Amino acid sequence: KGAFLLLASLPGAKELLGNKGYDSDWFREALAERGITPCIPPRSNRKVQHDYDKTLYRQRHKIENVFGRLKDWRRVATRYDRCAHTFMSAICIAATIAYWS
């Protein structure tokens, strides 16, 4: 249900990285309709095992690291802000400070 709601708001992309939780036929078809190549490993109990780019999937840890750093900020992790715009501003500030080099 959550993936279906977010599908319409996806930005233009060539590929989408996802974990095994997003491995479903309808989701793969919806991505293909938008011209997005799914990079989602198939579940082990799937009858038809789909191919995916294993090299690209290994880069997924970088995305997980970003979310891990953002969750160090209590305001972002617990979502103190009611307004989506204010919450996005807090994420931008946290990301800027977390990656300040």
Cα(42)–Cα(45) distance, integer angstroms: 8
Give the per-residue pLDDT at 11: 81
Q: Which residue has the tokens 């979502």?
A: 79
Give the per-residue pLDDT at 3: 78
Residue 94: other Cβ atoms inside 10 A: 19
pTM recorded for the entire structure: 0.69
Check residue 35 and report its DSSP letter.
Answer: T
Per-residue pLDDT of the chain (101 residues; tens, 9 = 90+): 677 887 878 788 899 898 898 899 999 999 999 899 999 999 999 998 999 999 999 998 998 999 999 999 998 899 888 898 999 999 999 999 988 86
Structure tokens at 85: 């715009």
Three-state DSSP class for residue 37: strand
Domain residue spans in the chain?
Answer: 1-53, 59-101
Q: Which residue has the tokens 């190549």?
A: 37
Q: Which residue has the tokens 């938008």?
A: 34
Give the per-residue pLDDT at 1: 63
